[in-house]
Structure 1
Amino acid sequence: CCQRFQVFSFSCPKESKERNPRENSATPTTDLCGLTLPSPNMQSPVLVLKDSLTRESGSKVHHANIQASKVDINTTISSNITHVKLAFGRIVVTNDGNAILRELDIAHPAAKSMIELSRTQDEEVGDGTTSVIVLAGEMLHVAEAFIDKKYHPTVICRGILFLILYYSVDLHNLYSMVVRSFAFAAYNKALEDALAVLDKISMSIDVNDRSMMLGLVKSCIGTKFTSQFGDLIADLALDATTTVGVDIGQGLREVDIKKYIKVEKIPGGQLEDSKVLKGVMFSKDVVVPGKMRRKIVNPRVILLDCPLEYKKGENQTNAELVREEDWAVLLKMEEEYIENLCVQILKFKPDLVITEKGLSDLACHYFSKAGVSAIRRLRKTDNNRIAKACGAVIVNRPDELQESDVGTGAGLFEVKKIGDEFFAYIVDCKDPKACTDAMSVARNILKHPKLVPGGGATELTVSATLKQKSSSIEGIEKATVAFEAIPRTLAQNCGVNVIRTMTALQGKAKVRSMTVLLVISLQHANGENAWTGIDGNSGEIADMKELKIWDAYNVKAQTFKTSIEAACMLLRIDDIVSGIKKRQAPGASQPSKPTIEQEGEADNEQMIPE
């Protein structure tokens, strides 16, 4: 059993002679980017490491990171449906990239960074987890050729518009022209141009048109669920997100699905029994089922974050009882304390009292006698949702209660038994702000009511537009590579031939058929149809607008941003320090230790004299 740790060291623009072979003088010089480079004779930093540590640096690290990103990750999630056999005999079958990656046991630090990339994409927009990994891995693959030619990673990152998005044959001409002209603005310009293309081809929609919204959500989650339940899931997701949506002004809408929406999974029943509750549901029952009401219409709700029981001493508390009556006095003091708490609550005439802490039997007696239902030991998250749903305020002390703290926004409180468990419902709320991928898609459309075509059409349009923008640079033969990874993967999953190269096509006088990817690329380059993509069912070229295959605008924009920035980050890593600490197996004999003279310690290391 081993414990592994890694240390990343990011390379700086200033590099030694090994990283920039064009610098030969001992005095600082300036490269084509206008950066001052140090002399190769300057002293390098000295690192003191343990004997058990291993260190790798230079181009070896770059190649290892690129290979780990391509092989370990891309080959796992590029297929339509991936199954992974895990420990303890568990098997996961899914096409969600993040669901697969979080179950993998990855050791390489670069591959771990790619997994974090997918997790970040999922948390930010809830979709596009596979696309961002495929696109980032393809960008690293294209940049590998320039690493072989000893180009500095910082230069590659700055010239990402031409170095990563396109593959150049004339490397020296590329360095002399592209780096000089676009050293400082190419990276930002590439993102700006890509996002500008998204704005150009995007289509605004009316979020109030329910039939259109249902069709869009269904098309976006078509691969997540079976077609039998697509309409049901889309309807539930749209109802949930529109329920918790808040207009924040200036035409913007905020939809916080993490805070206000909870998916409760209950064993038993069928998927058709699923529904959206305009309120809160939690697995609790009233404290005294026989004496407290389980159904209340228009309840007055009080939420507490304090116990309704006698306080116990934090440490050992001793009480000396001299007379027999002293024990009765102590019990009476406890009763008076709890009675006082209940009186302070009951004077506001509540119908339901919910606390996150304990509730004594005496307090239950007072509440049931007054006709008040009570629930105890509720989770903090559920209590917060109830407060948002019914308009109540969580109170820490009963003596601080005010009339404005009582929640009156709930229409119905009811306790139902489903299977072997009881569930409490607080529904029909006036402001109910209380299937995850589906809700993420609906949320993205509500927040940014723009759509872009799916089926790889967006990536090919961005690629063709950027290629036209760079046509003014002479001596550079360019072919779009990185952005074409998405439609190429789609075509491969459809069983279409996409491997045939341009050289083979040009070498034949008569070509009966071209690859699907080349035909679509020509159409996008000629500006014939920006909506042309690949039909995932048949593998044929089709109009995504007619097939109603869409992607949310902000999902695609976030995919471009995250993948490009992650590729640059991994390219700048040129030093890895890793170590393995072996743990002692249980029951194993302890090895003999040499005699050590305690002369000092540095980072828990002991000095052994010679």
Structure 2
Amino acid sequence: MKLANQQAGGQPVYIMREGTSRSRGREAQAYNIMAARAVAEAVKSTLGPKGMDKMLVDSMGSTVVTNDGVTILKEMDIDHPAAKMVIEVAKTQDDEVGDGTTTAVILTGELLRRAEELIDQEIHPTSIAHGYRLAAEKSQELLKTIAVPIKKEDKKFLKRIAFTALTGKGAEAIGDKLSDLAVDAVLAVEEEGVVDTNNIHVVKKAGQGVLASEMVEGMIINKTRLNENMPKQVKNAKILLLNVPLEVKKTEVDASIKITSPTQMKSFLEQEEAILKKKVDIIKKSGANVLFSQKSIEDMVAHYLGKEGILAFKSVSESDMKKISKAIGGRIVTKLEEIDTKKDLGTAGIVEERRVGGEDSMLFIEKCKNPKAVSVLLRGGTDTLLDELERALHDSIRVVGVAVEDKMIVPGGGAPEIELGLRLKQYAASIGGREQLAVEAFANSLDIIPRTLAENAGLDPIDMLVALRSKHESKNGKNFGLNVYIGKPEDMIKEGVIEPLRVKKQALGSAAEAAIMILRIDDVIASAGPSEQEIMEAQAAAQAQMRAGGMGGMGGMGGMGF
């Protein structure tokens, strides 16, 4: 690639590989904005209660049918670097709050579209970026004035938050059931105002309908008992969690034992058996009648445990062990000889191996006292349906968790966007300069959310925007959003269409940051791949090496005397 025209001697200067492409200035910005907007357009039709689904088919023929924005973007094979930045916005939104991914992506695309119009008016991208940053900061302040406080004990509000997250995701018909599951699970694992949703274990099983789904106050794990002699069910279980292998300890160095007679062999086996029996006696003495081991358990130990009526499971994953520990209130023991019966053993009302969905058996640890880890058994007719239900339940669990932690909500239906747009226009008048135009563009960009809700519902977007602005300009109208079912503005708080404040703040902040980052790029340099000559040289070298290796191998065979 030629970056300088000529040297002193009149020769061009090449400092990059031939074939490297470069776009600069307005061209680079146009390409990046076009790519980002294309990503936004791909998920735009999924927004809202009446959003449509996407069917994604990969190269292996696997099919995903979903309405979830981040799932769609993850499944799409996208190469453009600016488009990947927008996908990162969706992933960050999902990681942080679990919902609002489509809103964040659509808003990013609209901010860039408005910015492109300002660039066409000869306004420098730096001025636009500064104005967008001012508008984003002001939006975060204004959102706090729109928010409404709630209490974690108010299950009615929490259920409506969960239902709003489920709306439009294919799970709306059974939204009441999933909302109840989400709220109950979150409140169960909440500790001192903090919700770790990793302690909610979702298990999917095809078969019965969704209404057969249930929350278990304990854990469900995909394990079966080690020995047929062990009981299938243990009531009033005292559970021991071990991170110790129950087997004969192996030496750390290579060693051999010389046995010269059957008597010595018998003595050796009896000694080994006595060591294993001693380990079982220690477990029995602790009072445990259920055992979970993160390590292996020898068959002989399993046999003895079965004879003692102890239900045992081996090779339990570390994550499952931690969840079981939180559910039963027990501690993971790392030394068999130091079991503290009072502190280490956990309890459960019942531990049972139960058949779920056809011939599959799973282990249920139920009726735990104040469990801080719970399981949700999700049922559905098909695996495709179950996958979508799991995504919907994940979103509702995350938003309920955020609401319990922050105790602040905002109305849905595009109400915050309309209110912020009106207030940002008033704020823009106080700024002046070219940044004022950028703040106004930011305010106008927010209209894309209620506009898209209206379009996806088959309503006239202009009429809906006019009606919404009219309500918000009146007294006490800040909570009015678009009811897509009747086609007119309504108080979203009263209607129960609500979402956590953090979801909206994260979406606005992430969208603004991504738009600013893309706007500040004015030079795209794409490195070229290897030239045709280099590829041919590499192929020739590889073939020569293969020929040399083959002859060497034949020589080696001759040396071996074949």
Give the TM-score range, shorter chain. Answer: 0.7 to 0.9
**8 Å Cα contact 2:43/2:102 also seen in 1:** no
* Deviation readout 1:522-563 (Å, 9 max, x if unpaired): 443455611222222233233323433222211111111111
Report 1:36-47 matches (<5 A): none
- Change in 2 beyond 3 A, CA 1:471/1:522: farther
Match of 2:363 in 1: 424
> Once the 2 structures are TM-superposed, how far is the Cα of residue 73 of structure 1 from its aligned partner?
3.4
Match of 2:248 in 1: 310
SS of structure 2 residue aligned to 1:300: strand
> Once the 2 structures are TM-superposed, how far is the Cα of residue 399 of structure 1 from its aligned partner?
2.6
Match of 1:41 in 2: none
- Change in 2 beyond 3 A, CA 1:516/1:380: same
Q: Which amino acid aligns with 2:100?
A: G
Moved more, 489-498 or 353-362: 489-498
Structure 2 stretches lacking a partner, 5+ long: 1-12, 374-392, 545-562
**8 Å Cα contact 1:121/1:558 also seen in 2:** yes
Q: Which amino acid aligns with 2:78?
A: I
> Once the 2 structures are TM-superposed, how far is the Cα of residue 444 of structure 1 from its aligned partner?
2.1
* Deviation readout 1:174-226 (Å, 9 max, x if unpaired): xxxxxxxxxxxxx3x43342123222222222332333433443244222244
Q: Given the alignment, which residue of 416, 426, 449 partners 1:468?
A: 426
Report 1:489-504 matches (<5 A): 489-498=452-461
* Deviation readout 1:370-411 (Å, 9 max, x if unpaired): 222211121221111111111211122313433345323322
- Partner Cα distance (2:398, 2:208) in 1: 25
- Change in 2 beyond 3 A, CA 1:523/1:271: closer
Q: Which amino acid aligns with 1:74?
A: E
Q: Which amino acid aligns with 2:159?
A: L
* Deviation readout 1:105-146 (Å, 9 max, x if unpaired): 111111112112111111111110100001111112222234
Report 1:102-501 matches (<5 A): 102-148=74-120, 153-160=125-132, 187=133, 189-247=134-192, 253-258=193-198, 260-289=199-228, 291-312=229-250, 318-418=256-356, 419-434=358-373, 435-472=393-430, 478=440, 480-498=443-461
Match of 1:533 in 2: 481
SS of structure 2 residue aligned to 1:327: helix
**8 Å Cα contact 1:300/1:406 also seen in 2:** no
**8 Å Cα contact 1:388/1:431 also seen in 2:** no
Match of 2:552 in 1: none
SS of structure 1 residue aligned to 2:151: coil
SS of structure 2 residue aligned to 1:410: strand
Match of 1:176 in 2: none
SS of structure 2 residue aligned to 1:470: helix
* Deviation readout 1:236-261 (Å, 9 max, x if unpaired): 111111111112xxxxx111112x10
Equivalent pairs, count? 499
**8 Å Cα contact 1:409/1:431 also seen in 2:** no
SS of structure 1 residue aligned to 2:208: coil
- Partner Cα distance (1:333, 1:272) in 2: 55
SS of structure 1 residue aligned to 2:153: coil
- Partner Cα distance (1:556, 1:414) in 2: 43
SS of structure 1 residue aligned to 2:403: helix
> Once the 2 structures are TM-superposed, how far is the Cα of residue 343 of structure 1 from its aligned partner?
3.1
- Partner Cα distance (1:376, 1:100) in 2: 38
SS of structure 2 residue aligned to 1:246: coil
SS of structure 2 residue aligned to 1:415: strand
> Once the 2 structures are TM-superposed, how far is the Cα of residue 90 of structure 1 from its aligned partner?
3.8
Q: Given the alignment, which residue of 464, 483, 503 partners 1:516?
A: 464
**8 Å Cα contact 1:302/1:405 also seen in 2:** no
> Once the 2 structures are TM-superposed, how far is the Cα of residue 147 of structure 1 from its aligned partner?
4.0
- Partner Cα distance (1:378, 1:589) in 2: 52
SS of structure 1 residue aligned to 2:364: strand
- Partner Cα distance (1:67, 1:203) in 2: 38
Q: Which amino acid aligns with 2:207?
A: G
* Deviation readout 1:1-58 (Å, 9 max, x if unpaired): xxxxxxxxxxxxxxxxxxxxxxxxxxxxxxxxxxxxxxxxxxxxx9954446444443
Q: Which amino acid aligns with 2:97?
A: V
- Change in 2 beyond 3 A, CA 1:237/1:104: same
Match of 1:74 in 2: 41
Of Structure 1 and Structure 2, the greater helix share is in 2
- Change in 2 beyond 3 A, CA 1:211/1:156: closer
- Change in 2 beyond 3 A, CA 1:472/1:557: closer
- Change in 2 beyond 3 A, CA 1:47/1:139: farther
SS of structure 1 residue aligned to 2:206: coil
- Change in 2 beyond 3 A, CA 1:205/1:528: closer
Q: Output the aligned Cα RMSD.
A: 3.1
TM-score (norm 1): 0.75
Q: Which amino acid aligns with 1:82?
A: D
- Change in 2 beyond 3 A, CA 1:408/1:593: closer
- Partner Cα distance (2:14, 2:300) in 1: 68
Structure 1 stretches lacking a partner, 5+ long: 1-45, 161-186, 248-252, 499-513, 597-610
- Change in 2 beyond 3 A, CA 1:274/1:114: same
- Partner Cα distance (2:248, 2:27) in 1: 67
Q: Percent identical across equivalent pairs?
A: 31
TM-score (norm 2): 0.81
